[in-house]
Amino acid sequence: MAEYTASRYVLVDPVALWCAANTGTTRWSDVKVPFLAHPTLGVLARARAYGMNYGAVSSQRNPEHQMQRCALSLCRSDRELSDEEIQEVHKLLQKIMVAVGPFAGLNEEHLKVLQMLGAGAQILDIATSLNLSEATVKRRIDAAKKLLGAKTATHAVAIAAMRNLIALEKQEGV
């Protein structure tokens, strides 16, 4: 994973690009991205160096929120996945999407606090507006940060906005 991240392989990964452009489930070996045929862009060749020889990917949209897309890619070293295993990848992703929900595990309370933070409100303002204690607001922010993998409250707001979970209001003069 370190090499993948450091080398920014996601930008030229044919499986990731397939997921961005398609919905469905397929084997890695069936993914064709013609402009990535150049040998220096051999993301899958590098994957094989780590024993990731065969894989399948499923890419699905949330039926209630079409802008949200989820993908699951699995691999093995010894053989292509069977048609039955590929169907299991599809079913597993559906189960994950239902379990996590359209809001990445965030509930209405988390989203409201993030929305207000994004609009520039301070913790005391949020607490007063929502009739909560400051400690409760802080707990909601901490929970949202954890669910989103954010380091700071500002980072959580940015992630939520990028995922279209909240809408940031345009500030005058900015």
- Tell me, what CATH number does 154's domain have? 1.10.10.10
Whether residues 59 and 128 share a domain: the answer is no
Whether residues 80 and 61 share a domain: the answer is yes
Is position 13 within any domain? yes
Is position 146 within any domain? yes
- Phi/psi of residue 35, each to 5°? -75, -5
Whether residues 25 and 78 share a domain: the answer is yes
Show contacts of 8-12: CB within 8 Å, 24+ apart.
Answer: 9/43, 9/46, 12/36, 12/41, 12/43
Give residue 118's domain range.
108-162
pLDDT in tens, the chain (174 residues): 788 888 788 888 889 888 888 899 999 999 887 665 555 467 888 888 899 999 999 999 877 666 678 899 999 999 999 999 999 999 999 888 877 776 777 888 999 999 999 999 999 999 999 999 999 999 999 999 999 989 999 999 998 888 888 888 765 544
Q: Is this prediction's pTM over 0.85?
A: no
CA distance 9 to 14: 9
Whether residues 115 and 89 share a domain: the answer is no
